[in-house]
Structure formats: C-alpha cells, structure tokens
C-alpha cells in the first residue's frame, strides 16, 4: 500500500458533510491507510472551491455543477431533488406536486447551491414564469426554520431530507417537514469529485 507523507489533505464541498454519508467512510478508510495524515473539510460555494483549487488551497472538491475545462473530474453519482415544505402547507396534502403548483411561492435558497438556481430556472421556463427566489442565505438551518414556519419552500435532495429527520433538529419539535418530488419536471444533479493536476 502507498503511504502519503503529506500531513494534511484539504477537501472542499458545496454540500454539508452530513449530506455526504459516503464521505465519512471514505475518510475513515483513507486515514487507516495513511496514519498521521490529517483531513480538513470545509463547505464553500462552488466558485470559491474552484478558486481555492487553483490557488492550491484545496486538494479536492465535491461539486454539484459543471466545471470549466482544465480540471480532473470524477463523476460520483446523481441525486434527485425535491421540495421541502412545512407539513402545514396545503401542498403537503398532495402526493404529487407539479411545477405549476409552485408558481409564486417564496423559495428560500442556500447560497452554496448555485446549481439549484440553474435547475429551477429551467424547470420554471415551461410555465412562462420565473421561480420566486425570495431569500438567499448561507445558513441552511435558518432556511429550514423559515420553511417550518410556512414562510416558503426550499429544494433539497432526498438524502438531505432523511438526514434532517434523523438529526437533533427533528428532536427539537421541528420535524414536521415534508419532502415531495416534482412529478412533471424531474430535478437531478450530478455529484463529482474535482481536482487539478
């Protein structure tokens, strides 16, 4: 086996680490193979991650949007996205939600999820309207709070939804959130590992 002598491996991700359960196993296996090597993981917007790769401030990045030429890209998997809404929202009673049902609804977005902006623009294009992106912020928990209070909706992966339900957040009485896929416009994104030679 090949042992690395570098003391730190720096990884950036556009997604919360809790949304990447495979990463925990991969990091544990890597550390076992390379004892003494520390792992640093940080979340940033994709544009910032690519800049950090260019400046050799990161060794690898986990991305969700296409990246320009010149990077080494390894596609990992695709994930489905859907709507996260309060269980008290009238739409929560529908087993099937269509894009037209979301016209005018305030949408809360995480700044790091630039790929979701692009997906939403494409999804709403067929309705003749633009998505009502009402709020953008860097704190996912604040966004979830506002969705829980029926101030709007957000878009997350199904895996992120299950992570939300399983963590301490749900135990604080804020587990009444519902996930629904969009029936007429499938929303999917690719998760890739990106590096630079």
Over residues 24-49, mean pLDDT = 86
Q: Give the whole-number percent of the chain exceeding pLDDT 90.
A: 36
Over residues 59-87, mean pLDDT = 91
Q: Provide the pLDDT for residue 96.
A: 86
| Displacement of CA 7 from its chain's centroid (Å) | 29
- Rounded CA separation 10/180 (Å): 35
Over residues 43-54, mean pLDDT = 90
Q: Provide the pLDDT for residue 137.
A: 75
Q: Provide the pLDDT for residue 45.
A: 83
Strand ranges, E, within the chain: 8-13, 38-43, 60-63, 72-86, 107-110, 133-137, 154-157, 177-181, 187-195
| pLDDT above 70 for 4 | no
Is residue 143 within 8 Å of 108, Cβ to Cβ?
yes
Q: Provide the pLDDT for residue 106.
A: 94
* pLDDT tens readout for residues 86-145: 988 999 999 889 999 999 999 988 765 667 888 898 899 989 999 998 888 766 777 888
| pLDDT above 80 for 5 | no
Over residues 144-160, mean pLDDT = 85
Q: Minimum mean pLDDT among 28-37, 47-56, 173-182: which range?
A: 173-182
Short-list 83, 41, 43, CA closest to 64: 43
| pLDDT above 80 for 11 | yes
Over residues 7-14, mean pLDDT = 90
Over residues 169-178, mean pLDDT = 62
């Amino acid at each position: 086996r090949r042992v690395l002598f570098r003391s730190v491996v720096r990884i950036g991700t556009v997604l919360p680490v809790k949304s990447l359960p495979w990463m925990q196993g991969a990091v544990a296996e890597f550390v076992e193979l390379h004892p003494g090597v520390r792992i640093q993981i940080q979340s940033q917007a994709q544009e910032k991650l690519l800049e950090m790769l260019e400046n050799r401030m990161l060794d690898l990045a986990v991305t969700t949007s296409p990246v320009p030429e010149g990077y080494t890209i390894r596609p990992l998997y695709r994930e489905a996205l859907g709507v996260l809404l309060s269980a008290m929202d009238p739409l929560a009673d529908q087993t099937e939600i269509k894009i037209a049902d979301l016209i005018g609804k305030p949408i809360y977005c995480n700044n790091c999820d630039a790929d979701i902006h692009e997906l939403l623009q494409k999804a709403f294009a067929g309705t003749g309207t633009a998505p009502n992106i009402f709020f953008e912020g860097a704190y996912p928990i604040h966004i979830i709070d506002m969705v829980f209070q029926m101030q709007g909706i957000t878009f997350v992966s199904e895996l992120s939804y299950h992570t939300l339900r399983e963590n301490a957040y749900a135990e604080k009485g804020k587990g009444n959130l519902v996930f629904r896929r969009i029936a007429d416009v499938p929303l999917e994104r690719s998760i890739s590992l990106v590096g630079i030679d």
